[in-house]
Structure 1
Amino acid sequence: MKILPIVIMLLLANFDFSDMSIEDDAFHDELPFHIETWYFEAISGNESMVFMITLIGKMAAMIGIQFYEKGMPLYDGRKIYFSFNASNKIPYIAINGKEIMKCVENGKLFYKISYSSENISFNLFFQNRTIGWKSKKWIAIPNMKANGSILFQGMEYKMNGKGYHDHNIFYIWQPFVERGYMDGKVILENVSLFWARLMRNAFIHKDFVIYSNSSYHVLNATIEFKSYKINNGHLIPTSFKIHGDGINLTINATAIHFISLPFIKYWRYHVYSKGKIKGKKIESFDITEYMLFKPF
């Protein structure tokens, strides 16, 4: 198996991107102790869901679910399990004997994620519309079809929209040497734009922007943080501008959800993007993340 140290934040070296394989998205059980995550977004009309599987080494698995309407959380829940099985060949995870995530490849990548609890249940299906990419620090499928159903408080929500998936590895030393990151995307029918700022500290950072259609291209574009507000004791950005290399976008937060996690402060944004991508006028509602490590 290829050893892919998919660390979302390291030393801000240059990025070399290449095509991901299905094996890259499997569990990296050969690595030293680490935390590994599989993250999915689904957006359909006013509803959106984020589902994340976190493996804490080989000791425990945590399921995290946030379900939103117009960017406002209807449900936010996490649960830890100690009985799980994860494949190191393909993206496959079962918890307490029940399949939670499975991916098969047949020209495209098809993911099925499912979960059932007393609070919320769902079956969601994701299929890539653009190819996935990887670097030594990241793996992502930036544009996917997302459909299925969510059962919450006796109501069934049909999902038929767009999705996103990424997979990361975190090491326990990262909060002590890195500040955090911000990333977002603009997902359209056949193209997407992924952007990120990786922060070594308050003064040193590295930005990158990737345009995906039938392939993917790293753009010579600039990311600007335009306005800020205080949220949970931190000054956080709330609007952004991306420009250069055929891109001219303004991005504004429409809702912000703060999530407190061990060693991490995390804000999930629902955002509205407007402008031009490669000469085409666009308007899009998407999800953006802002994460700060907090070792103490």
Structure 2
Amino acid sequence: MFQSVTAKAPIRHPALAESCEVIDAIRYNAGFLPEVELAYEEAIKTLWITIKPELKPVFTLQLLDSLVKIQGAVFALWGAPDQYHRAPVRFLAFRGTGPFFTLGGDLDFYLDCLARNDRAALTEYARLSAEGAVWNASGLNGLVITLSTIHAKAIGGGIDAPRSCNVMIAEEQASFVYPEIKFNHFPITAVAILSRRMGQRAAEQMLLSGEEMSAREFHLAGGLEAVVPEGTGEAWIRKYCAESLPIHAARTALFSAFNRRSGDLREELAHLGQIWADCMLRLSPSAISKLQRIAQTQDRMLARVYQRHVAHA
């Protein structure tokens, strides 16, 4: 006999139930996850991570911590060798929202640390930046393929987190620039991450010039796997994941092998984190004043952009 179901009983679609179970498991393992939104697509075994900084589109300490916790939770839950065939997550995909993808590092946080001469906080920021990049580059130690799609302007060191993924694409309206050199600063992980993709000379030229590159220019320089039409970045990733599922084991193995051949990223980023913290703490009063002016300029620019965004919504 069939058991009757009352009208009040919730009927959940199997895919929705699977999605909730995966996300609930990750959240239970990771704990509090501010400034991110998770979504799961069972058909392509993809966990989407949408970055959603609360005040500014920058990589805050809280955002970096959330990303590392998610990466660690996925690996803790399904990273054991005997869990591979049962793992619901084969792909980790990053995306953003709003008129900017990122304005880069959190200048307000930097300035607060400098006011307090807080090396420990700067060091923790560098550590989390490095940890997230190592997880991405290794595909969570060979468990997943990591991907990112850039839909808008990406400025500064916030480019490095998505570029540390195995695959990074951008929509044609996106652009990329590292302006740090203009205020006597440098992004924590960019030298290592960009050099692995573009080669040392091209990475050096981009970081030293501080000049903006279109998505197509960045692609030609070796910084992207593909440039796609506006509004199609997520569809490109879905197609890639669907086509990669039958050969997932081989692709993860190849990404892992190339990552290993490129050297010890963790060791390199640990060194870069140390010299970054030193560089920050050596900034002159005039350089710090310039940082303050840039942060204020960001605030005014964001206010104008978001006002236009709301007006056209």
Q: TM-score, normalised by structure 1?
A: 0.27
Structure ranking higher in strand proportion: 1
**More helix per residue: 1 or 2?**
2
- With a CA cutoff of 8 Å and minimum separation of 6, indicate the structure with the bigger relative contact order: 2
Greater CA radius of gyration, 1 or 2?
A: 2
- TM-score under structure 2 normalisation? 0.25
